[in-house]
Amino acid sequence: MARITFIQSTGEQTTVDVPAGESVMRAAVSHGIRGIAADCGGCLSCATCHVYIRDGWAQRLPPPAEDEKIMLESALGLEETSRLSCQIKVTDALDGLVVGIPAAQY
């Protein structure tokens, strides 16, 4: 189990408990986190689960695969720490992960 904090572009924060093996995107959707559209349901065919990895966590995650990098090119407001949350699998080592939600996905 890992605790993940989602931060809206307004600064509002929500922290949730997420079981290992679930994607960050599924965790956001199942906990009603606003701003994660997840139109493709995690099939890596859209970029509507785009997030920003915050507080030094980007270096602690496995790097994005080539297909994620390609799909990220269609996301709005890319930052250096942009990721697709459907591609981040939760492990116990991600306890404390902080994820920023873009102001818009479209």
**Encoding tokens for residue 106?**
């479209």
CATH of the domain at 81: 3.10.20.30
Question: Biggest alpha carbon distance in the chain?
Answer: 32
Residue type, 5: T
Of the pLDDT bands very low, low, confident and very high (cuts 50, 70, 90), residue 101 is: very high
97 neighbors 22 (Cβ within 8 angstroms)? no
Amino acid type, 15: T
Whether 30 is in a domain gets the answer yes
Q: What are the pLDDT digits (tens) for 9-30? A: 999 999 999 999 999 999 999 9
Domain range for residue 37? Answer: 2-100
Domain assignment of residue 105, yes or no: no
H helix or E strand, kind and range, residue 92: none
Residue 85 lies in a domain: yes
Q: Quote the DSSP letter at residue 34.
A: T
Task: Report the alpha-carbon distance of residue 71 to residue 73 in Å, rounded.
Answer: 5
The answer to whether residue 106 is domain-embedded is: no
> pTM for the whole thing?
0.95
50-59: average pLDDT: 96
